[in-house]
Amino acid sequence: MEKIKNPEQRWHDMGGFPAGQIDKAQHDFAIWEKRVDALLSLSTKKKLFTVDGLRRALEDMGADAFEKMTYYERWIAAINQNLIESGIYSIEELGNKMAEVKKRGETYGAAQEGKS
């Protein structure tokens, strides 16, 4: 990403940056992406955190994450950060859960078949 001249303008404030041709390729959303979207909608509906909280976490990830991670990868990272901050579960609980889920199988299809 190009150097930002105004020091108060952060990387995500992209309006006016030079940029190339717009890629119009479209993909259908995968079920895991739809689930991430649903986690955000339900979290804000139930006032567990706000869209501003999501935005703060996304913006703090920096330009590098924007380039390297997909849209919903960044979202689940930001949702997770907000939920941990809200005290609903701890990093340790997340770590244990991720280890447990990982043991179920090598693919998303296999790993998702938990008790949910």
Q: Which is nearer to other proteins, 13 or 60 (CB)?
A: 13
Minimum distance, C-beta of residue 73 to other proteins, in the bound complex (Å):
4
Residues contributing to the site for other proteins (CB under 8 A): 12-39, 41-42, 46, 48, 51-52, 55, 58, 66, 69-73, 76-77, 79-80, 83, 88-89, 93-94, 97-98, 101-102, 105-112, 114-116
CB of 35 to other proteins, least distance (A): 6
Nearer to other proteins, 6 or 26 (CB): 26
C-alpha span between 74 and 79 (Å, rounded): 9
Measure the CA–CA gap between 42 and 18, rounded to whole angstroms: 36
DSSP 42: H
Contact 111, 102 (CB under 8 A): yes
Place of tokens 């940056």: 17
How far apart are CB 104 and other proteins at their closest, in Å?
9
Tell the smallest beta-carbon distance from residue 3 to other proteins (Å). Answer: 14
Alpha carbon 2 to chain centroid distance? Answer: 23
- CA dihedral (104, 109, 112, 116) positive or negative: negative
